[in-house]
């Protein structure tokens, strides 16, 4: 059993959220540069240029790329041969989030309770954490701050098996059409198909972590990703919804077996602030 101290995890989480909020990942930035070549709309091109400039300023001056520094979403893949020592893992992650948001001049956007008082918790805690147990003796942590504007436009449907691919596609396209200018395009669209109610939503979010511009290794899924991307970019929203060809720079689909009676589909809309950073401990 390899031992990892919680202090190391707090430190890692803190640094990941600082990095994610200040620096756009390279694959995402490259996708916007490519989009600039493809985009025909003058307003759309202008928005893409602003996005690239914004990324440059945020990174070089170490300020938040977007003022909505999001819900602190954390994916943790723990090797089954790792033993965590020195304290409570959940608390260690939460502490990393607290330090990043307080010390990094990031916005506190979490309120408790969600309905009545809605009082800001003051330090952007608690995070939303997804754990996964994997083989090996490493821990991989991915920080993915997610803004409210795009998250609000995400949707889930429990379709009927008879709805088939046409039904799935229609639901996805409708979701993107409705999201449009409100969710800060160009998007990366995360789609989860199959599993059950909660698992397809999880898959949709997890799909967003795959590098932009790379197709799924399963040829069936790769094909539907291509088809969806092509059709989404015919909707016409373009960058920031001012009209244009690039509404999304990529579509990521994950599938999972499902019940004979079900066809769950979840669409997680990722705005152009497609922020994530990761580390392996």
Partner 1 sequence: MAKEIRLTTPLTEEVISQLRAGDKVLITGYIYTARDAAHKRMTEAIAQGKPLPFDVKGQIIYYVGPTPPKPGEVIGSAGPTTSARMDRYVEHLLKLGLKGMIGKGYRQPFVKELLKKYKAVYFAAVGGVAALYREKIKSSEVIAYEDLGPEAVRKLYVVDFPVVVAYDIYGGDLFEEGRKKFAQLEI
Q: Which spans of this chain sit near partner 1 (rule: CB under 8 A)?
A: 40-43, 47, 50-51, 53-54, 57-58, 61, 63-69, 105-109, 118, 120, 122, 147-149, 152, 170, 173-174, 177, 180-184, 231, 234-238, 240-245, 271-273
Q: Which span sits near ligand SF4 by CB under 6 A: 98-106, 197-205, 234-242, 270-278?
A: 270-278
Which CB, 68 or 95, lies closer to ligand SF4?
68
State the nearest-atom distance from the C-beta of 106 to ligand SF4, in Å: 12
Residue 8 has phi, psi (to 5 degrees) of -65, -35
Q: Which span sits near ligand SF4 by CB under 6 A: 93-101, 142-150, 188-196, 205-213?
A: 142-150
Strands (E), the chain: 2-5, 71-79, 82-85, 111-112, 119-120, 128-134, 139-146, 155-159, 187-195, 248-258, 263-270, 277-280
Question: DSSP of 122-143, one letter per residue?
Answer: SS-PPPEEEEEEESSS-EEEEE
The Cα–Cα gap between 76 and 134 comes to: 10
Residue among 44, 147, 238, 239 that touches ligand SF4 (CB under 6 A): 147
- Per-residue binding string, ligand SF4, 54-83, x by CB under 6 A, is ------------x-x---------------
- Beta bridge partners, 4, equal 84
158 binds, among partner 1, ligand SF4, none (CB under 5 to 8 A by kind): none
The Cα–Cα gap between 58 and 29 comes to: 13
| Closest by CA position to 278, among listed 26, 5, 2, 7 | 26
126 touching ligand SF4, by CB under 6 A: no
Question: DSSP of 28-41, one letter per residue?
Answer: HHHHHHHHHHH---
150 touching ligand SF4, by CB under 6 A: yes
Which CB, 107 or 130, lies closer to partner 1?
107
Torsion of CA 189, 71, 64, 92, to 10 degrees: -120
Residue among 55, 141, 142, 271 that touches ligand SF4 (CB under 6 A): 271
| Binding-site ranges for ligand SF4 (CB under 6 A) | 66, 68, 147, 149-150, 183-184, 271-273
């Amino acid at each position: 059993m390899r031992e990892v101290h919680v202090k190391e995890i707090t430190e890692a989480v803190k640094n990941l959220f600082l990095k994610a909020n200040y620096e756009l990942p390279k694959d995402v930035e490259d996708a916007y540069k490519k989009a600039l070549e493809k985009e025909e709309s003058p307003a759309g091109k202008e928005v893409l240029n602003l996005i690239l400039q914004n990324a440059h300023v945020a990174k070089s001056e170490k300020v938040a790329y977007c003022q909505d520094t999001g819900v602190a979403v954390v994916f943790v893949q723990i090797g089954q041969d790792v033993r965590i020592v020195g304290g409570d893992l959940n608390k260690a992650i939460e502490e990393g989030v607290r330090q990043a948001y307080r010390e990094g001049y990031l916005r506190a956007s979490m309120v408790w309770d969600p309905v009545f008082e809605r009082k800001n918790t003051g330090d952007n805690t608690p995070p939303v954490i997804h754990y996964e147990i994997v083989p090996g003796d490493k821990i991989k942590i991915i920080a993915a701050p997610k803004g409210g504007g795009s998250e609000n436009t995400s949707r889930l449907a429990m379709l009927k098996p008879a709805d088939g691919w046409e039904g799935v596609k229609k639901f996805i396209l409708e979701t993107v059409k409705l999201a449009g200018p409100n969710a800060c395009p160009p998007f990366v669209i995360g789609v989860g198909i199959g599993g059950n109610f909660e698992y397809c939503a999880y898959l949709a979010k997890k799909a967003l972590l795959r590098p932009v511009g790379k197709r799924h290794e399963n040829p069936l899924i790769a094909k539907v990703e291509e088809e969806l991307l092509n059709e989404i970019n015919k909707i016409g929203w373009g960058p920031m919804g001012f009209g244009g060809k690039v509404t999304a720079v990529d579509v990521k689909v994950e599938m999972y077996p499902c019940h004979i009676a079900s066809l769950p589909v979840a669409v997680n809309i990722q705005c152009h602030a497609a922020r994530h950073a990761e580390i392996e401990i």
